[in-house]
Structure 1
Amino acid sequence: MTSTALPPVASATPPPRALRQGSVRGLVVLVGLLVLAGLVSLAVGSRAIPLGTVVDVLFHPDGSDASTIVHDLRLPRTVLAIVVGLALGIAGALMQGHTRNPLADPGLLGVEAGAAFAVVIGIYAFGVHDLTGYAWFSLIGAGLASVAVFAIGSTRGGPDPVSLVLAGAAVSALLAAFTQVVVLRDIDTLDAYRFWAVGSVAGRGMDVFWEVLPFIVVGLVLAAMSSSTLNLLQLGDDVAVSLGLHPMRHKAIGVLGVMMLAGAATAACGPVGFVGLVVPHVARYFAGVDYRWVIPYSGFIGGLLLVVADVVGRVVVRPGELQVGIVMALIGGPVFIYLVRRTRMVRI
């Protein structure tokens, strides 16, 4: 009997479009877009400045009105928008990866609720009324709330994804109730708190940036340590253990990174929603499912998105401004609905 060789099937169909790969070229493109968006942010506002003038006074400050506007007003908010967007994007990617929940965002760790309650206490009990004070109280509150959620949502085997989500929802609801009790009792506290709670990069100086930068750097280091094992953790704890990993240790590193990044970002600008929720889906659409690429893509896309949202907020109601938190809600909601309904890459 003679055997008949079967034709190869590997070349029958091309690889599906969904099998995307991150690349250094993609990161370079994102960096270029981020630089361009930053320059536009320095040029656009209640007083428009030509891009050529922006570049000139940026590297050669001359004390002119344009130089003062660029260095004292627009440069701090642009730098802060880039760093905060980067932190929230990476925090969202880590949160979705470690909980294996495509709808997870850093707020599920109680970061925003803890920060808000701490800021209210700072205003009401300690008379804090400056952005620097808000930043420190916010950072402390976000950290304590995250630790509480992590402790409640952890079992003997480490932080459980479902338990973390439930614990985060419960702690956030409790802290939100406490916050409302305080602001409803004191109108002055409500007036001061509502301006912080809307989420904005305007009015922040470089002093706020330098204060939160160490926490963001630590969060980035933890994110880098966590990214190498996130792919294996997606297969389940049993598989990870069989491959020689310690799931509890790596989950703890990842959650701590989320706490640092999201807590520092919220401390700097107040709560800015949808960045940590939407950005990882966009990153996975372009970079695939490999978290070694998803995390850096999420950071650069988050920074780009927040800078663009800040610029849009300055343009749509000129000569006034819309805070970046409001713009992100207007942009992020429809974009997230579109991603959920139209693309498969939003599924982890």
Structure 2
Amino acid sequence: MKKAETSEVIQSIHNEKPYKRKLAYLILIFGWMAVILAIVSSIYIGASHVHYAAVWRGVFFYDPTNSADVIIHDLRLPRALAAVFVGAGLAVSGSIMQGMTRNPLASPSILGVTSGALFFMAIAFAFFPHLTYSQTLLFSFVGAGMGAALVFSIVAASRGGNTTVKLALAGAAITSLLSALSTAIGLRFNVSKDMSYWYAGGVSGIQFQQLKYAIPIIIIGILIGIMLSRSITVLSLGEEVATGLGQKTKVVRFVGIIVVLLLTGAAVSIAGMIGFIGLVIPHITRFLVGSDYRFIIPCSAIIGALALLGADMLSRMVNAPFETPVGAVTAIIGVPFFLYLARKEGGAL
């Protein structure tokens, strides 16, 4: 009976606005075509001019003796792929966090997950300089978990329970603290130069060696998120409703948190602190496809990939031939959006 009731609730959400369901299918069908076209455009754009024919040759018929092929295959292709998977991972991570907490301000960058990952990476650079990339990736996962745990512990210990503004303020406090500690470690142990790339946030200089570890983790995280999407839809209706429908809310939250840590940890380990993708993209996706997380999560992955690819291309064109950090480009859009949401939801700003 509970399962039948759950299906009815999901179906009612699914049929809420039929045109949004059609738009979701269009995004799922044609979105990946747009991603492929954006990847080609990203490879094409750069300080060194290359023809589209050279892009095809460099990707599929790589010749290490050809300078154009080396630029395309070893520099621009890994960069484009990193933007796709980091954007998708952060967007899905934000979608899951917002669905589970029912908090419109929830995102990896706002709730201390990203800064926690960076803090532990600073520790790795300072105290364990000879770690392999896979070991550094493990530090990133642990730090992401610690950052989130600190934020939610502060909110849980406060009076009045969990509110939108309290979560945002606790996240801002922990993010500031961990960022300051990361900077202090960098200065004290002379690893600031090594950490500067992760502070700024970006996908330039990424190599296939890094992607071969991070991409499978992000793919697994997104797939688990999609499998969990039905339960997140029910959970987004409220704890009492989800429990009344027989859902094991603690199990759903536990698995969801693990997915968020996997996605954010992998993304931070290759691209550093890229903020607001996990905050803005889920809202845009919900506006387009409705409240059913069976569509929100996969569509967020597509839109997030396109958004970060676009931001990376824009970062190369704003001050060419010099590059603007991608984190700065995403912040220009994300900060006003965050302030708008905080004012709308909390009425305190």
Q: Under a length normalisation based on structure 1, what TM-score does the superposition of the two structures give?
A: 0.82
Partner of 1:216: 218
1:179 matched to 2:187? The reply is: no
1:315 matched to 2:325? The reply is: no
Note if contact 2:285-2:299 (Cα within 8 Å) is conserved in structure 1.
yes
Q: Please state how far the C-alpha of 1:230 moved relative to its aligned partner.
A: 1.8
Q: Please state how far the C-alpha of 1:168 moved relative to its aligned partner.
A: 4.7
Partner of 2:57: 56
1:246 matched to 2:258? The reply is: no
**Which amino acid letter does the alignment assign opposite residue 129 of structure 2?**
G
1:270-309 mapped onto 2 (5 Å cutoff): 270-309=272-311
Q: Are residues 208 and 46 of structure 1, via their aligned partners in 2, closer, same or farther at CA, if it must alter by over 3 Å?
A: same
Q: Please state how far the C-alpha of 1:201 moved relative to its aligned partner.
A: 0.6
Q: Please state how far the C-alpha of 1:185 moved relative to its aligned partner.
A: 3.3
Partner of 1:20: 20
**Which amino acid letter does the alignment assign opposite residue 248 of structure 2?**
H
Report the Cα distance in structure 2 between the residues aligned to 1:287 and 1:147, rounded to whole angstroms: 31
Report the Cα distance in structure 2 between the residues aligned to 1:43 and 1:129, rounded to whole angstroms: 34
Q: Which runs of 5+ in 2 are unaligned?
A: 1-14
Partner of 2:125: 123
Q: Secondary structure at the match of 2:141?
A: helix
Q: Please state how far the C-alpha of 1:252 moved relative to its aligned partner.
A: 1.5
1:330-345 mapped onto 2 (5 Å cutoff): 330-334=332-336, 336=337
Q: Under a length normalisation based on structure 2, what TM-score does the superposition of the two structures give?
A: 0.81
Q: Are residues 330 and 18 of structure 1, via their aligned partners in 2, closer, same or farther at CA, if it must alter by over 3 Å?
A: farther
Report the Cα distance in structure 1 between the residues aligned to 2:43 and 2:252, rounded to whole angstroms: 40
Partner of 2:4: none
Report the Cα distance in structure 2 between the residues aligned to 1:214 and 1:161, rounded to whole angstroms: 35
Report the Cα distance in structure 1 between the residues aligned to 2:29 and 2:85, rounded to whole angstroms: 17
Report the Cα distance in structure 1 between the residues aligned to 2:67 and 2:81, rounded to whole angstroms: 20
**Which amino acid letter does the alignment assign opposite residue 254 of structure 1?**
G
Partner of 1:192: 194
Deviates more, 1:246-255 or 1:19-28: 19-28
Deviates more, 1:145-154 or 1:133-142: 145-154
Q: Which runs of 5+ in 1 are unaligned?
A: 1-14
Q: Are residues 29 and 264 of structure 1, via their aligned partners in 2, closer, same or farther at CA, if it must alter by over 3 Å?
A: same
Equivalent position to 1:85, from 70, 84, 87 = 87
Note if contact 2:112-2:148 (Cα within 8 Å) is conserved in structure 1.
yes
Q: Please state how far the C-alpha of 1:164 moved relative to its aligned partner.
A: 6.7
Q: Please state how far the C-alpha of 1:160 moved relative to its aligned partner.
A: 6.8
Report the Cα distance in structure 2 between the residues aligned to 1:127 and 1:26, rounded to whole angstroms: 43
Report the Cα distance in structure 2 between the residues aligned to 1:285 and 1:165, rounded to whole angstroms: 22
Q: Are residues 66 and 119 of structure 1, via their aligned partners in 2, closer, same or farther at CA, if it must alter by over 3 Å?
A: same
Q: Which has the larger Rg?
A: 1
Partner of 1:142: 144
Report the Cα distance in structure 2 between the residues aligned to 1:124 and 1:169, rounded to whole angstroms: 25
Report the Cα distance in structure 1 between the residues aligned to 2:116 and 2:328, rounded to whole angstroms: 20
Note if contact 1:94-1:295 (Cα within 8 Å) is conserved in structure 2.
yes
Note if contact 2:214-2:270 (Cα within 8 Å) is conserved in structure 1.
yes
Report the Cα distance in structure 2 between the residues aligned to 1:241 and 1:94, rounded to whole angstroms: 18
Q: Please state how far the C-alpha of 1:145 moved relative to its aligned partner.
A: 3.4
Note if contact 1:154-1:164 (Cα within 8 Å) is conserved in structure 2.
no
Which structure shows the higher helix fraction? 2
Report the Cα distance in structure 1 between the residues aligned to 2:197 and 2:321, rounded to whole angstroms: 19
Q: Secondary structure at the match of 2:20?
A: coil
Report the Cα distance in structure 1 between the residues aligned to 2:18 and 2:330, rounded to whole angstroms: 27
Report the Cα distance in structure 2 between the residues aligned to 1:265 and 1:154, rounded to whole angstroms: 27
